[in-house]
Homo-oligomer: A and B are copies of this chain.
Amino acid sequence: MRRMSLPPGAPRRTEIEVAVEVRYAETDQMGVVHHANYLVWFELARTRLCRETGYPYADIEQLGYLLMVVGARLRYRGGAHYGDQVTISAQLAKLGSRGMTFAYRVRRGETLLAEGETDHLWVERQTRRPCSIPAPLKEPFARLAGSSG
């Protein structure tokens, strides 16, 4: 996991990277990683990114909130193969009062394999009703988005 360095003083959007080794089970008979697994990789990167707020996602769920996925868009550029080392980068692309959008890139070395976004809404865990971003998370997520310089 590495953070991008940006000019000091500038509002910084945090970007993290996670590395995974492609698992045999992730391939399909086409010989490349099945396209559904990219959503699983995105989620792994999102998990790491959220951890940067100081509120790991597991803790957020225990606070009584869920960050429900309401949309996803993926663009596939190349295949990942069994045993490949790939890196998934994630950043908070858009922060709203009731949800947010994350953006991702999957690379093998310099080769872009896929990119995409996922849209999320805050919901109360018990009721599954949409809600505003929980107060204690407001500032940490704003920092992720680089919107509170």
- A residues near B (Cβ < 8 Å) are 21, 23-25, 27-32, 34-37, 39-40, 43-44, 47, 56-58, 61, 66, 68-76, 79, 81-83, 128
Contact between B43 and A24, CB atoms less than 8 A apart:
yes
Write out the residue numbers on chain B whose beta carbons fall within 8 Å of the beta carbon of A82.
29, 57-58
- Given contacts A34-B25, A43-B25, is CB(A74)–CB(B72) below 8 Å? yes
Q: Within the assembled complex, what's the spacing in Å between the Cα atoms of A82 and B60?
A: 12
* A21-B44, A27-B28, A57-B83 known, 10 other contacts, Cβ within 8 Å: A24-B34, A25-B28, A27-B29, A29-B61, A30-B68, A35-B39, A35-B69, A36-B37, A36-B40, A72-B76
